[in-house]
């Protein structure tokens, strides 16, 4: 692996050192102002914008030769986006990779937070398609920035109110808007509601990068992250009662619904495939020992 890095002919982690330095500086600002979107000069990469280039640039700027890398897409390590990003990073850095959440020092993710609890020595990097939580109520960037500056979130609140009036509850599934540190409303990237409570008062540093939209933001450890909710309509996560993973039997993880094309049968499996596999392995071992 190490030799391959030399052969690649690129600088370590693809980006030049000046770019990495600039992106790290932006990240420091983002950490200093939790939830605030810091603009940055998004670089050209050998991956098209909108395919995880924001998260990728953060990872490239953070990664060192000693890091152990995990890349996931919707919870899975083996989906094409994750595989290609991992390949590029390995080619240009030669770092060790893993599928085990508990082993990785740096995790790049698209649309999920791994099921296993993260700790303070780990960093989770999110790929963000739309960083602006106010975009659904205000198309103008100039205006949304003004709204953030003045903490004027009434229009988003009205949107949520009307959702309740029309449908009886808030219909936003993924990308649920959250209030960070009591100041900025933030888009947590399209993670399911299931993952939103895990942003609150976490041990880990969460970094968000939007390459196409050229924004970086962050939730530092031990920061309050509250989903926007009404007193009489509290926030709730997806309901998986009476359902369990068809592979590992888990009842406390976020499940994907799989519909069989031929029979039409529905079944549920863990969205975090690495965790599902680990549980099955542990179960088997326990079975052998017994």
Residue partners of 21: CB distance under 8 A and separation at least 6 = 61
- Rounded to whole angstroms, the Cα distance separating 284 from 277 reads 11
Query: In whole angstroms, how close is the CB of 234 to other proteins at the nearest point?
Result: 11
Angle between helices 53-62 and 80-93 (to 10 degrees): 30
Pair of tokens at residue 188: 């947590």
Query: In whole angstroms, how close is the CB of 187 to other proteins at the nearest point?
Result: 19
Q: Which of 173, 242, 270, 287 is catalytic?
A: 270
- Rounded to whole angstroms, the Cα distance separating 81 from 112 reads 14
Q: Which of 35, 54, 94, 211 is catalytic?
A: 35
**What residue ranges bind other proteins (CB under 8 A)?**
149-152, 154-155, 157-158, 161-162, 164-166, 229-233
Q: Which of 50, 64, 248, 264 is catalytic?
A: 248
Q: Which is nearer to other proteins, 203 or 230 (CB)?
A: 230
Query: In whole angstroms, how close is the CB of 257 to other proteins at the nearest point?
Result: 30
Query: In whole angstroms, how close is the CB of 159 to other proteins at the nearest point?
Result: 8
Q: Which is nearer to other proteins, 151 or 282 (CB)?
A: 151
Q: Which is nearer to other proteins, 164 or 277 (CB)?
A: 164
- Rounded to whole angstroms, the Cα distance separating 144 from 152 reads 9
Q: Annotated catalytic, 270? A: yes
Counting beta carbons within 10 angstroms of the beta carbon of residue 63, is it exposed (0 to 12), middle (13 to 18) or buried (19 or more)? buried
Q: Annotated catalytic, 75? A: no
Q: Which is nearer to other proteins, 216 or 228 (CB)?
A: 228
The answer to whether the CB of 242 falls within 8 A of the CB of 270 is no
Residues tagged active-site: 35, 245, 248, 270, 276
């Amino acid at each position: 692996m190490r030799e391959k890095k030399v052969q690649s002919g690129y600088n370590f982690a693809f980006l030049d050192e000046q770019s990495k330095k600039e992106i790290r500086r932006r990240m420091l600002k983002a950490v200093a102002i939790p939830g605030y979107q810091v603009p940055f000069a998004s670089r050209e990469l050998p991956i098209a914008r909108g395919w995880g280039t924001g998260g990728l640039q953060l990872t490239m700027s953070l990664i060192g030769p000693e890091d152990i890398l995990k890349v996931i897409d919707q919870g899975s390590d083996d989906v094409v986006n994750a595989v290609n990003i991992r390949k590029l990073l390995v080619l240009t850095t030669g770092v060790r990779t893993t599928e085990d959440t508990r082993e990785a020092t740096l995790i790049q993710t698209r649309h999920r937070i791994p099921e296993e609890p993260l700790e303070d020595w780990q960093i989770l990097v999110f790929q963000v398609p739309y960083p602006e939580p106010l975009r659904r109520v205000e198309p103008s960037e100039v205006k949304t920035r003004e709204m953030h500056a003045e903490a004027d979130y009434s229009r988003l609140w009205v949107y949520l109110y009307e959702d309740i009036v029309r449908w009886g509850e808030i219909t936003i599934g993924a990308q649920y808007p959250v209030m960070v540190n009591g100041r900025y409303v933030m888009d947590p990237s399209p993670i399911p509601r299931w993952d939103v409570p895990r942003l609150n008062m976490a041990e880990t540093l969460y970094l968000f990068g939007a390459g196409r939209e050229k924004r970086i933001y962050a939730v530092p450890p031990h920061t309050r992250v509250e989903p926007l909710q009404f007193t009489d309509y509290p926030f709730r996560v997806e309901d998986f009662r009476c359902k369990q993973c068809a592979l590992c039997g888990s009842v406390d993880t976020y499940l994907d619904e799989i519909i069989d094309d031929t029979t039409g049968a529905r079944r549920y499996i863990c969205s975090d495939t690495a965790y599902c596999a680990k549980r099955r392995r542990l179960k088997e071992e326990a079975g052998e020992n017994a």
